[in-house]
Structure formats: structure tokens, C-alpha cells
Amino acid sequence: MIPVKAKRGFYIATSCPACGAELELESDFLTTSCSSCCSVLRILTPATPPVYVVKAKLLDKDVRFHIDRHLKGNAEPLTHSLDSVRKFYFPYWKIDAILLRLRHRKETRINYNEETNTETATDLKKVETMLSPYDVTIAAGGLPEIIPYSLGERPEYVKTMPYSEEHLQLGFELLSIETPWQDAITKANRAVEQLNHISAEESGVNISLLLRPVLSLINFPYFLAEANVRGKTRSFVLDGLTGRIVYSCSDGISEQLQIADQQQSAELGRLGVELHRCRNCGEQLPDTRSYVYICRNCQQLTVLEDCPELNRRILSVQGSANVDEQYFPFWMFRLPAEQMNVFRIRFGGSENAGAICVPAFRIKNFEALYRLTRRISCAMSKLPMFESRELKENYLPVAVGIAEAGALAHVALMREVVGKTEELPRTLADLPFEEVSLFYAPFHPESYFLVDSCLGAVTFEKTLAGV
């Protein structure tokens, strides 16, 4: 029997808008179905960071037990009495991002010439791009020392609930947010920059950057207990889930808690869950875990992500009516031409200076994604396109959203510039896009590869797309 892996980390608990049953949402979601009523639902992420509350599991009656166990473990005298207990939620920023590490290294290769019996050294330039998920929590409230700076990697499966007054437990106070979310991103970026301290064999450009940071606020429960130990007052701070003592001292610290006015959390965002239907005609949309849908009834476009630069006309490349054909989605990002000229970037060939086309399906290996991005960007201007009014069965879901694909377009751009110039202007990471659009290109299998059915020029390995 395969052992069931214990779930860990944070998940969001909310209720089904159709039947009220509880839904468990993990980090990678767009659409989901309710296990009680089978309704297909979609999640609406607000523009400002959404706020969550973690309910305490620790009971008042067990507080003294946890303190005594802690004292006993340290071979200290036990409590004589428990004088007061305050319960509060301490705010943390949760940051989910993509960590980009770009490493430029020079390698020296020694070539031996047998005829002349001499060795010559050649310098080889190599660029390595590494992308990895980055997920941290940073204290948003004050009280350094007393309260842990981060929630760390919790070994348990922690349930978070969208913030609302009824989700706050009786007798709990809400502490105020002292670090604005913009500062939290700055702090996280500063921590990441420490990664640039490079080892000796590496030289040239080294950059570590957080891309597409997504923030949420988690109010986490703590207990502050004052106890009488041998006639003296001692303070203990307990983790509200496990009862673990996270801080203790021989002073009263209760007056240091900064109570928030309710307004603070209410001003932040709220996660929404709604029925996955066409907003125009109400037709049920398919549960394909895609960012993009076209209603089969009224042809209205639904995109599960806000983007003011989005061109809502969806294009398809003319296929060849090959039965094995599948249409792969790509996001096209148009950059300001004058900027591209400043950096002398000809992304994907001389015909196409300003557009970067990033796969909207998942490719885990960045170098492979970069190669395909270059090829398709280069071929783009030669591909005949028509407007798509339906997404047929051989159209793959759009698994990578605009924000993530935009970050990848920036990475591809930086990768291109570093590869050519060995320098990297940091402003490249924030270059604004003038237009974003989606197009589909048909590919068919040929042995180990997928080949584009229009030009026969763009290929990639089957395994990359999981086909």
C-alpha cells in the first residue's frame, strides 16, 4: 500500500456559493469543483492583498500545562498560578514569487595540440538561468523578539479562512499592521540580493530577483500568559496552534501589544469564489483549469486575470487539418520599440524587434522555454493568423497566466541581453508592456518532437509539454 503523504503548508477554507459546503483551496488553483454539489467554481483574486485568519486550536485550559511542560523541560520550577491570558492575532505578510537567479560564468578550457606539443587556453562564457518558487512569511506587526519574525515551514496543514468578523474567535484581539505591503516586498528583495554574493569561480553579471510577488496577509493566533513562578511574574508567548512556547521573560509585556483598529484589515482585499459561468449569458464554462474561456453559447471571452493592456481578440495560426494537430497557446507581449532599440535587442530575429511570445502552457525547464520563446517570436511575423471565436477540443488550456508569463518574458529579455552584452541594466525587469495578446499555434508530433504545422520551422521536444 502506498502511504498517504501528510498534507502540510497553508490552505484556504471557504464555502461553496451554491450549497455552502466547505472548500479546500491550495495555492495552485483557478477553477475547482465543489465535492458536495459538483458546481464548477472559479476564484477571484482581489487587486489588493487578501486577508486571512488562522483559528487557534489551543484551548485556555491547556495553557498552563504547556507552560509547565516548557519549564520542566528546562529544569525550572513550575507555575504557582496563572494570572492572566491574552489572546491575539499577529499579522504576517505571505509572499509567493518566482526567484530568478542569473549567473554569468567564465570557464577556461585547455586545448592540447599534439603537433606542437603546446597547450592553449580558451575562455568560454556561460549563462545560467535558474527559476524556483519562493514562498516566505514576514512579520507585518511590531514586537520583534517577542513574536517570531516568520511562520517558517509549518509541519502541519494550516487552515486559513478569508477575513471576516465572524471568523475572529471570541476574546481575540487583532494586532495592527506596522509594515506596509510595499515595504514587505522591499525586505524580501533585500534578502534575495544577499544571494548575489558569489563564489570565486563565478564572474560577470550575477542577479537574483523576485518576480511577480503575490501577497496576502495572514493573522496568526498567539497567547500571552502571565504566570506566578516562585512569587515572581513571568510572561510566556504561546503558538496558538501547537501551544509551543515561542518566547518567555521575567517582565510583564502585555502593554506592548498594539491593537489594530478594525478598519485596517477591512481595507485590504477579499478572496472571492463564484460559479464558473459566462458573465454575459450564464452558460456553464468547462472546468479545464485555464485562464481563458470562450463561451460556446455567446462567444464572449472570459479571462480569469485583470490586465488593462490585454487585446481581447484571440488569434490562431492557420493549421494544416492534420488529425494529430494540437493548438498550443502563447502570450505575446509587445514592448516599446524605442526601448528595444536602446538595448539593441532583436528578439527572435531582425523582422520582429518588439514582441516576445511566451508559451502559455507549462514548461518546467527554463532554457527549453527560452529556446522555444526565441523560435516562436522569430517565426511570429511569418505566421498567417485568423481570429478564433471558439476554443475547440484540440486547443490546450492556458495554464500560465498573464502575470507569470509577463515575468517570464522579462526573464527571457534579460537572458538575451546578458548573453550578448555581459551587462544587465536592471530597468529591464520593469519594462512596461504596450500590448498583451493570446494566440494559438498548431503543432503535430514527429518522432520525439512537436513541429509547428504552418512553417514546419518551430520544434520542441514532446516531453517538455507533457504530451
Residues at the interface with Zn ion (CB under 5 A): 16, 18-19, 21, 34, 36-37, 39, 278, 280-281, 283, 295, 297-298, 300
Whether the CB-CB separation of 444 and 322 falls below 8 Å is answered with yes
Rounded distance between C-alpha atoms, residue 163 and residue 89, angstroms = 12
Whether the CB-CB separation of 25 and 17 falls below 8 Å is answered with no
Which of 33, 23, 25, 45 is CA-nearest to residue 304? Answer: 45
For residue 221, what is the enclosing H or E element? Answer: strand 202-229
Q: How far is CA 47 from the centre of its chain?
A: 15
CB closer to Zn ion out of 297 and 341: 297
Residues 6+ apart with CB under 8 A from 82: 63, 64, 67, 225, 226, 227, 228
CB closer to Zn ion out of 35 and 365: 35
CB closer to Zn ion out of 35 and 318: 35
CB closer to Zn ion out of 37 and 337: 37
CB closer to Zn ion out of 89 and 291: 291
CB closer to Zn ion out of 16 and 418: 16
Q: Give backbone dihedrals phi and psi of 144, rounded to 5 degrees, phi first.
A: -60, 155
CB of 170 to Zn ion, least distance (A): 28
| Edge-to-edge order in the sheet of strand 31-33 | 31-33, 40-44, 272-275
CB of 162 to Zn ion, least distance (A): 17
Quick one: angle between helices 402-421 and 366-379, nearest 10? Answer: 90
Buried b (16+ CB within 10 A) or exposed e, 120-149: eeeeeeebebebeebebbbbbbbbeebbbe
Whether the CB-CB separation of 271 and 43 falls below 8 Å is answered with yes
CB closer to Zn ion out of 88 and 291: 291
CB of 391 to Zn ion, least distance (A): 13
CB of 395 to Zn ion, least distance (A): 17
What residues pair up with 107 in beta bridges, in sequence order?
124
CB closer to Zn ion out of 36 and 256: 36
CB of 249 to Zn ion, least distance (A): 48
Whether the CB-CB separation of 151 and 52 falls below 8 Å is answered with no
CB of 378 to Zn ion, least distance (A): 36
CB of 153 to Zn ion, least distance (A): 32
Whether the CB-CB separation of 135 and 96 falls below 8 Å is answered with yes
Whether the CB-CB separation of 219 and 147 falls below 8 Å is answered with no
CB closer to Zn ion out of 76 and 283: 283
Rounded distance between C-alpha atoms, residue 339 and residue 346, angstroms = 11
Residues 6+ apart with CB under 8 A from 113: 119, 120
Residues 6+ apart with CB under 8 A from 447: none
CB closer to Zn ion out of 203 and 297: 297
CB of 397 to Zn ion, least distance (A): 18
CB of 279 to Zn ion, least distance (A): 8
CB of 47 to Zn ion, least distance (A): 25
